[in-house]
């Protein structure tokens, strides 16, 4: 089933307790597309880069089945740039720099070929651009998933709330859920956020897993205790890509299938953090993915007979 992805395609500079990179390829849509490409070969990307961006990476996306017709390459302009530094616990980070560059005047255009997509992943991007893309779609996709971050809550909350009102699933981390709702309790936060529009809220808690809330129930997916956690950048996006990619592959958006999808999302995120940037998401096999999912299942498998 076709999946439309929007979000940043960018350069990042990352500092973790284990090392430091200069400019490497990053961006929410890069991670989402790569992670989803292990589930669907019908991925359509809408984004923008400058002509400084890596041609090799774009070619790699194409070989993974990502259609780049909706990717604008701006002559003489610079790609979006983000720099971040992780604290020692790797669960928290500071943004050191955000340079919008090409994003500042980006006018997304959804190509005719992308119309009628059944799944839409609104990756992290200015909420006004997410609204712009939603307005261009002639038919509402079967499922719309939104990922965003505190940066947009700080500077574009009104627009962000308009996007949130139109989506089916929102994925944010625990501190963002608290910021958005004004509630410390994640249960109360979820109730308030679900009342803003989405039927499903996924709260990511880094190495502590992810919670899925809907009106009826709460489901928890652990994160895999990994020997090597190198760089958490893109974990949330890879999670989102695995989540929506699995739903698109299985063509089932029931609450039960979303529980399976968050295990697949968590598996893709667990790969990403093992190396810097997008490196670990390149060249995985189907066997690698299934093996990783099996490790998640083994982690929570237990026999209990209630008396």
**Chain positions contacting ligand AMP, by CB under 6 A:** 8, 10, 12, 26-28, 82, 98, 124-125, 149, 151, 233-237
Q: How far is the CB of 131 from ligand AMP (least distance, A)?
A: 15
Nearer Cβ to ligand AMP (37/42): 37
Q: How far is the CB of 284 from ligand AMP (least distance, A)?
A: 18
Please compute Rg for the chain using Cα positions.
18
Considering beta carbons, is residue 13 or 255 the nearer one to ligand AMP? 13
Task: Choose between 118 and 207: whose C-beta lies nearer to ligand AMP.
Answer: 207
DSSP-assigned letters across all residues of 129-198: HHHHHHHH-SS--SEEEEE--HHHHHH-HHHHHHHHTT-SEEEEEHHHHHHHHS-SSHHHHHHHHHTTS-
CB of 25 to ligand AMP, least distance (A): 8
Q: Tell me whether residue 26 or residue 141 sits nearer to ligand AMP (CB atom).
A: 26
Please answer whether residues 43 and 33 qualify as being in contact, where contact means their C-beta atoms are separated by less than 8 angstroms.
Answer: yes
Q: Rounded to an integer, what is the distance from CA 235 to the centroid of its chain?
A: 8
CB of 154 to ligand AMP, least distance (A): 10
Both structure tokens of 107: 């006018």
Cβ 10 to ligand AMP shortest distance, Å: 4
Sheet holding 143-147, edge to edge: 66-74, 43-50, 3-6, 119-122, 143-147, 169-173, 200-204, 210-213, 218-221
CB-nearer residue toward ligand AMP: 77 or 237 = 237
Measured from the CB of residue 303, what is the shortest distance to ligand AMP in angstroms? 36
Q: Which is nearer to ligand AMP, 17 or 116 (CB)?
A: 17
- Summary count for the chain: helices (H), strands (E): 10, 14
Structure tokens at 208: 């502590």
Q: Among all residues, whose Cβ is closest to ligand AMP?
A: 26
Between strands 200-204 and 169-173, the pairing is parallel
């Amino acid at each position: 089933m076709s999946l439309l992805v929007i979000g940043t395609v960018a350069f990042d500079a990352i500092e973790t307790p284990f090392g430091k990179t200069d400019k490497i390829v990053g961006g929410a849509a890069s991670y989402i597309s790569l992670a989803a490409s292990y589930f669907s070969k019908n991925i359509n990307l809408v984004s923008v880069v400058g002509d400084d961006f890596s041609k090799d990476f774009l070619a790699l996306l194409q070989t993974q089945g990502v259609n780049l017709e909706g990717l604008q390459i701006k002559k003489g302009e610079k790609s979006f740039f983000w720099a971040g530094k992780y604290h020692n616990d790797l669960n928290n980070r500071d943004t050191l720099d955000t340079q919008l560059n090409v994003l500042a005047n980006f006018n997304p255009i959804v190509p005719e070929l992308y119309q009628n997509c059944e799944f839409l992943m609104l990756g992290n991007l200015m909420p006004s651009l997410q609204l712009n893309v939603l307005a261009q779609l002639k038919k509402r996709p079967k499922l719309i998933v939104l990922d965003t971050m505190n940066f947009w809550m700080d500077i574009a909350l009104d627009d962000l709330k308009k996007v949130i009102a139109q989506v089916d699933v929102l994925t944010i981390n625990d501190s963002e859920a608290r910021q958005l709702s004004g509630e410390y309790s994640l249960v109360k936060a979820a109730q308030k956020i679900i009342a803003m529009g989405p039927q499903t809220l996924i709260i990511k808690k880094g190495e502590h897993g992810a919670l899925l809330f809907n009106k009826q129930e709460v489901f928890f997916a652990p994160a895999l205790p990994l020997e090597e956690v190198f760089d958490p950048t893109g974990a949330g996006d890879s999670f989102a890509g695995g989540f929506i990619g699995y739903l698109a592959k299985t063509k089932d958006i029931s609450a039960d299938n979303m529980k399976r999808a968050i295990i697949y999302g968590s598996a893709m995120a667990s790969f990403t953090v093992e190396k810097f940037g997008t490196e670990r998401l390149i060249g995985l096999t189907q066997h690698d993915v299934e093996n990783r999912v099996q490790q998640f299942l083994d982690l929570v498998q237990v026999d209990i007979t209630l008396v």
